[in-house]
Copies of this chain bind each other. A is one copy, B any other.
Amino acid sequence: MSGKIITISREFGSAGRTIGKMVAEKLGIPCYDSEIVQQVAIKSGILAEHIEERGENLSASGRFSSLFTLYNLYSNMSKDDIIWHAQVKVIKELAEKGPCVIVGRCADYILRENENLVKVFIYSDKETRKERIVNVYGERTESPEKRLRDKDKSRAAYYKQYTEMEWGDPQHYDICLNSGKLGIDKCADIIANL
């Protein structure tokens, strides 16, 4: 495998996904995002909508509801664990294909042994993120403040559960960029030029 694998971890509303796509475009390499969800769905047999949500977020209960009890007949793993193992496999396979950008889904941890890895964390101040989630995902009954808090909390809990590390601790990344301060374009430029 030649070239770099760039993983982008990001706070909700920090434009990490957009920055990842821009970096991939600048470098002419793929940005994996929904492909991961689709492939994990195929491998695990679990609906893509559930994987989208549960592949990097841990709910308060930390477990699926009894809707999926069928799986318990085949395995003593929780559905979260089934998704996790499928996700690890899919992300490793994608990285083997060559240089790419992977957004979220603990790819920084999953690919940590890879010598060509560049690990990025994108974050921003709360005001900029609140504005962004309303613009991008629309209004909800819950306040933007609460939506940020819940999502950050569930991503951090998921990361902690499967990596035993603290999400957003600079030590786990090569570079951390404040997109609210530097701007989305500048962040993409910096990463593409690494």
Contact = CB atoms under 8 A, between A and B. Distances in A.
A22 B72 CA distance: 59
A178 B173 contact: yes
A49 to B, nearest CB: 31
B174 A178 contact: yes
Contacts of A190: 175, 190
Given A175-B175, A186-B194, A170 B125 contact: no
Contacts of A181: 174
Given A171-B178, A174-B177, A186-B194, 10 more contacts: A121-B176, A125-B171, A170-B178, A173-B176, A173-B178, A174-B182, A175-B177, A175-B182, A175-B190, A182-B194
